[in-house]
Amino acid sequence: MSLDQLERLDTSAESLHQRLLGNVRDLIVRGGLAEGARIPEAELCERFGVSRTPLREVLKSLSTEGLVTLRPNRGSIVTPLDREGVMQAFEAKGVLEKFIGEQATRQATDEDLSQVSAVHQDLVKAESVGDFEAYTRLNAVFHLKLATLAGNSEIVTFYQRLETKLRSVRYRINLEPTRLRASLSEHQGIVDALFVRARLDVADRLFEHNTATARVVLEQLALDR
């Protein structure tokens, strides 16, 4: 087999893994598999048209994200939400938000600011029509863009890991129109402060936005128990 053929096989395998990873992750985040539920491997293999080998590789990847718990010889389960763990994740993210707010404000170009504003306008549209799925997706894009503008790849990696851990609970609260409106208002304040390069204000607003989200999430988790 030629080198070119090997490279195509590698690319194809990577593409399959990423596609399957996204599908299973979304299934968990959107509540298609309940927390604490056993992962139905045979059912998922049939649903996504794959064998157990790539599915198990995906489950390993999801375990590093905290979404799946691997249990040797007993099958994997959707990791149950832990109130204390969620609270600690938000606390850690709050520290990062301060850093991101200051650094992104310093380093963002005018083009960067235009891109952030464009995502915010898409959030406005999603909220106006009550499209909570689009809002949740765009919210992740908005915050990741700001994290990236901070210019520290280690921060981005850690930030993404925390965001993934919190994605399912964030999705849950975005079903509530009142929270969507409040979130959008908080985003508007962040964008306004960013455009006038008020770095400490941006940092504080990101921190407060994270705190407000954490409060609503923890209240929802208490109600669900």
Fold agreement between 3-78 and 83-224: no
CA distance 196 to 133: 30
pTM over cut 0.75:
no
pLDDT tens-digit series, residues 9-30 = 344 556 888 899 989 988 887 7
Q: 3-state SS string over 30-56?
A: CCCCCCCCECCHHHHHHHHCCCHHHHH
Pick the CATH number of 3-78 from 1.10.10.10, 1.20.910.10, 3.20.20.60, 3.40.640.10: 1.10.10.10
Packing angle, helices 199-224 and 177-195, rounded to 10: 170
* Annotation: CATH topology of 83-224: Four Helix Bundle (Hemerythrin (Met), subunit A) (1.20.120)
List pLDDT tens digits, range 40-95.
999 999 999 999 999 999 999 888 777 889 998 888 999 887 888 889 999 999 99
Task: Give me the residue spans of the domains in the chain.
Answer: 3-78, 83-224
